[in-house]
Amino acid sequence: MRVAVFDIWGDYAHFRKFYTTSSPLTFSFPPPPTISGILGAVYGTDKNVNQYLDIFGPANCKTAIRILNPIKKIRIGINLLESKGTNLRVPMSDKNLAPRTQIRTEFIKDPMYRIYVAHTDDKVMDVLGEKLFKHEPVFSVSLGLSELLANFRFVGFFNYEIMADQKPVEICSPFTAENLMPAGLEVEVGKKYFKERLPISMDRNRVVSKYTDVIFEPEGKPIKARVLIYQKLGTGENIAFF
């Protein structure tokens, strides 16, 4: 079994939390449906029918992510313009009538991640790997919002084996709480332990079918834990697919 690995980074990222409205907050890293969207942009899936959610959904594709840059969150005021109804005919110079609203939005500053992808279809893996290697995505790659363009670098293909020895190991990727064994987390000095509830799977109508808690270290340090299952790469890295 093999996994395709690539790094992705940008100036800012925003992965909107589903429970925020007037003041949008961001997840610390892209949830699996967002990773599927990034893969779909590189591969070139049909945007009109959300094809990426099928091709790179959890039924066919397994993903994991590693935090390479420490998570730094900032808030920036974003000017939004009303684009419905007759407001577009309002002169922009008219300060009393211009339909603008400023929203404080949370962003991740200088994000950088390593994404691991394993697919059941070798042809899809080959095409995806070629586009990553040649740096030729079909669509522009972004980090959550279309304005937040990203760059990426192909690391390579690596073999991996599935491990279920349930011994304490250092996992370098965030992992789901349901994968953690009872009292399996070994807390170490100098590390931080965060938990966020993420959407895991989504259908073509963009309806989330599963949420789960994910445990991670915000500075990207590996977490020592006993998990039910993890993947050991030929590089020596231990990851856990979502």
Does position 85 have pLDDT exceeding 90, yes or no? no
**Which pLDDT band holds residue 224 (cuts at 50, 70, 90)?**
very high
Please state the rounded mean pLDDT for residues 125-142.
96
Total of domains in the chain:
1
**Which pLDDT band holds residue 103 (cuts at 50, 70, 90)?**
confident
Would you state the pLDDT for residue 64?
97
Per-residue pLDDT tens digits for 35-51: 999 999 999 998 888 89
Does position 111 have pLDDT exceeding 80, yes or no? yes
**Which pLDDT band holds residue 83 (cuts at 50, 70, 90)?**
low
Does position 89 have pLDDT exceeding 60, yes or no? no
How many whole angstroms separate alpha carbon 104 and alpha carbon 77? 4
Please state the rounded mean pLDDT for residues 63-86.
86
Amino acid residing at 179: N
**Which pLDDT band holds residue 20 (cuts at 50, 70, 90)?**
confident
Q: What is the mean pLDDT of the chain?
A: 91
CA 175 vs CA 9, 27, 141, 196, 198: distances in Å: 21, 15, 25, 11, 11
**Which pLDDT band holds residue 81 (cuts at 50, 70, 90)?**
confident
The domain in which residue 211 lies consists of 2-239
How many whole angstroms separate alpha carbon 27 and alpha carbon 165? 31
Would you state the pLDDT for residue 135?
96
109-119 exposure pattern, b = at least 16 Cβ within 10 A, e = fewer: eebbbbbbbbb
**Which pLDDT band holds residue 99 (cuts at 50, 70, 90)?**
low
Host H or E run for residue 233: strand 230-233
Does the pTM of the predicted model rise above 0.85?
yes
In this predicted model, which residue has the larger pLDDT, 89 or 71?
71
User: Which CATH number covers residue 118?
Assistant: 3.30.70.2660
Does position 92 have pLDDT exceeding 60, yes or no? no
Q: Three-class SS of residue 242?
A: coil
Would you state the pLDDT for residue 161?
95
R_g of the chain computed on alpha carbons: 19
